């Protein structure tokens, strides 16, 4: 997901996305460990997305929502 899409979500929706991506990361790491993962770059993509989600959640919680600045 791109940052614009993530900024449009509520905190609860961001928490749900965070859970989904953490689960996906776990599954990707498991697949990688047993040699079944063909696209290893996906691990880095998921990690980056998780970091974006956490950053946007923190911004919303502290009142530093940048969505109004970016528009």
Number of domains in the chain: 1
CA–CA distance, 21 with 67 (Å, rounded to integer): 22
**DSSP letters of 4-65?**
HHHHTS-HHHHHHHHHHHHHHHHHHHHHHHTT--S-THHHHHHHHHHHHHHHHHHHHHHT--
Q: What is the pLDDT of residue 39?
A: 95
CATH number reported for the structural domain that contains residue 20 in this entry: 1.10.287.310
For 39, the domain range is 3-62
Say if 38 falls within a structural domain: yes
Say if 68 falls within a structural domain: no
Say if 16 falls within a structural domain: yes
Considering the entire predicted model, what is its pTM? 0.85
Residue (of 67, 18, 6) closest to 46 by Cα position: 18
Q: What is the pLDDT of residue 1?
A: 81
pLDDT of 7 over the 80 cut: yes
pLDDT digits (tens, 9 = 90+) for 15-53: 999 999 999 999 999 999 999 999 999 999 999 999 999
Residue pair 24/16 in contact by the 8 Å Cβ criterion: no
């Amino acid at each position: 997901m791109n940052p614009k899409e993530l900024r449009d979500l509520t905190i609860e929706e961001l928490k749900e996305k965070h859970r989904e991506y953490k689960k996906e990361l776990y599954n990707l790491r498991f697949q990688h460990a047993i040699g079944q993962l063909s696209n290893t770059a996906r691990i880095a993509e998921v990690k980056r997305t998780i970091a974006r989600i956490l950053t946007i959640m923190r911004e919303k919680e502290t009142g530093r929502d940048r969505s109004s600045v970016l528009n």
